[in-house]
Amino acid sequence: MDCAEEVTAIQRALQPVEGVREVRVNLLAGKVTVKHGDQVDADKLIKAIKTDAGLSARAAAAGAPAEEEGSSSWRTILVCTSGGLTGLGLLLGWLKLAPPIVQSVCFFGAILAGGWLIVPKAFNALRHRSFDMNVLMTVAVTGALAIGEFGEAAAVVFLFAFSELLESWSVARARRAISSLLKLAPETALLLEGDQTREVPVAEVAVESTIVIRSGARVPLDGVVSKGASSINQAPITGESMPVEKKEGDEVFAGTINGEGSLEVKVTKPASDSTLSKIIRLVEDAQEQKAPAQRFVDRFARIYTPAVMVVALLVFLLPPLLAGQSWNVWLYRSLVLLVIACPCALVIATPVSVVSGLTAMARRGVLIKGGVHLESIGALRAIALDKTGTITEGTPKVQEVTVLDQADETRVIELAAAIDANSDHPLAVAICAYAKDKGIRYSSASDYRSHTGRGAEGRVKGRRFFVGNHRFAHEQGACSPAIEKQLSDIEARALSVVVLGEFAEGSRSATTLAIFAVGDAIRSNASQAIKALHEARIEHVEMLSGDNQRTASAIAKQVGIDDAKGDLLPDDKTARVKELVAKYGSVAMVGDGVNDAPAMAAATVGIAMGAAGTDTALETADIALMQDDLTKVADAIAHGRRTRRMIRFNIGFALAVKAIFLGLALFGQTSLWLAILADTGATLLVIANALRLLR
């Protein structure tokens, strides 16, 4: 399967089969996925493809890459035979070394050899009342023979068959770029059984088993290090340039490369569910999500080819009938028009560009789920960023504790930790970790109640306490002017505040007992990443945070973000993203793919950071950054813009070549072989240009 015409032929062959509900053909993965009822089996589908589409097929094993068709060798032989005989016939004619009959035999041999690759496909298309490129070529060659242009007919057949062969090689190269991802993970693993190891296929390794990864070996399965320490090259998954140190308790991913140390790893996922396997499936599925440009070309091609047939017929009939001109002259011109009208370059321009772009970004640790998102990210004008885990490290720590009203520091830490023990919010986790570091024991508060985006309350030893942000403390009436000043001073230093207070018994009035200043370190490359976004022609970068406005503004100012919105609940973030979409049209939301899922869904493009090993992030985001590196966003935008330019240039170039040669054809200023040469050249240039995206 090498061209869009074969995709159409497969769909025509399978859709009428009783019991078939859906047919999805992935040209660049070389796969056909069919949803069907119990009455349909693989043999029936394979037979339909062979009989009605004229193509061979086989049932693929789950997760297996598409095998390259064995057609290359015999197709190459036929094309070479056609080219050799065409060249010999032309040489004999120019040098007058043989009678015309010998020259004609050479040309007919060339037509038969090359036509073997064209006529059967044309016949299948006509059986389904469809006019494709093969029909156009067959009609053109038949017409050329009818008017005695044997040499030109042979040249057309050879050049068209040669262009199809080169197209198949180019598609195979793009296909190999995808299948190369499959080769990242080894097929076997060293299973540890007692004190011995046994080499087994990765598919046979059960979850919770322990495998041994020797120095220099690739990691075969996702897992957690249970023994040993080493550095791991994670570039195949995350795109990181430097190895990452791994010790007991750290995650490792299939397809990554172990360094000098030996590791024992407890397997956490089966081979079919590893992060690498998911990446491969998502890259393959992404090709089926057609980019807007590709959908336009597909619609255009469906109308274009029949329209060309009608125009060619009118060009043949009208001048002789209305103006008494030569039938042979206008038949020849109509045949040239048919040849140059082949939409090869136009049809192949977008899919090869898209798959090249998707594969290149996957190699860099940026997973883009479809051509539509690849084009969308190239059109971005604004970006909204979550603060925690995106601009900051995502692991806040208690920087200082201010105790009020002569309260005991150990006691206030114990109370805050008792309430926060019920929450997994990053600030709550930081306070609990601080208590543990101080050796302070605590038990979970009773009657726990969470106030989303503001804080929580609970009962400890019969008394009611709360922990919350500035806004929540203010709502409880626990902020005196002096406390307000303290909170403002902390927030001005880009730190988050957590207020511990106690409710008066029998009322909602509260008293502040302590203030925790919690800091989340800004990522070292955050300023560089924001600068790169502006250099990528992003007009507006905005940070969205649940923290107070002063803290959000201070962090935004430090890293060069245009604007920051604080005190936002999850619904507020979603509403703000919608406002940005209304203003800028194309907006991305960057977050962790879990808490920010609603806001990411509201954006034009949702981008999840640190998705390696995170199932939710891989599923929810349109684009997943496998590494916690914000600079990858700018890389993806630049690559998206490059892909958009490539697609537009390729489509424009293909249409321009068509328009020029159509005009030349109508005025009799070109020939059949020049027309097919122009079409072949345009196709090859478009493919070669698109494959540059793989670099």
Catalytic residue positions? 386
Q: Identify which of 179, 178, 238 has the alpha carbon closest to the alpha carbon of residue 635.
A: 238
Q: How far is CA 208 from the centre of its chain?
A: 31
| Distance between CA atoms of residues 608 and 593, nearest Å | 5
| Distance between CA atoms of residues 286 and 425, nearest Å | 34
Helix axes 71-95, 100-115, angle to 10 degrees: 160
SS3 35: strand
SS3 516: strand
For residues 160, 161, 164 and 165, what is the CA-based torsion angle, rounded to 10 degrees?
-140
Is the CB of residue 294 less than 8 Å from the CB of residue 631?
Answer: no
| Distance between CA atoms of residues 148 and 605, nearest Å | 58
SS3 378: coil
SS3 505: coil
SS3 119: helix
Q: How far is CA 480 from the centre of its chain?
A: 53
Is the CB of residue 495 less than 8 Å from the CB of residue 503?
Answer: no
Residue type, 121: K
Neighbour tally for 583: CB within 10 Å: 12
| Distance between CA atoms of residues 384 and 364, nearest Å | 23
Neighbour tally for 666: CB within 10 Å: 17
Neighbour tally for 590: CB within 10 Å: 31
Q: Identify which of 42, 62, 111, 105 has the alpha carbon closest to the alpha carbon of residue 82.
A: 111
| Distance between CA atoms of residues 440 and 586, nearest Å | 50
SS3 52: helix
Q: Taking the chain, what is the end-to-end CA distance rounded to the nearest angstrom?
A: 24
Neighbour tally for 270: CB within 10 Å: 16
β-pairing verdict for 605-608 and 587-591: parallel
Q: Using CA of residue 544, residue 546, residue 551, residue 555, what is the dihedral sign? A: negative
Give residue 366's region: left, alpha or beta (phi > 0; psi -120 to 50).
Answer: beta
Count H helices, E strands: the chain? 24, 24
Helix axes 150-182, 344-363, angle to 10 degrees: 20
Residue type, 138: T
Angle at Cα 369 formed by Cα 368 and Cα 375, nearest 5°? 70
Is the CB of residue 332 less than 8 Å from the CB of residue 374?
Answer: no
Q: Using CA of residue 309, residue 310, residue 311, residue 317, what is the dihedral sign? A: positive
| Distance between CA atoms of residues 307 and 301, nearest Å | 10
Q: Identify which of 467, 475, 533, 481 has the alpha carbon closest to the alpha carbon of residue 508.
A: 475
| Distance between CA atoms of residues 512 and 515, nearest Å | 8
In eight-state DSSP terms, residue 209 is: -
In eight-state DSSP terms, residue 132 is: -
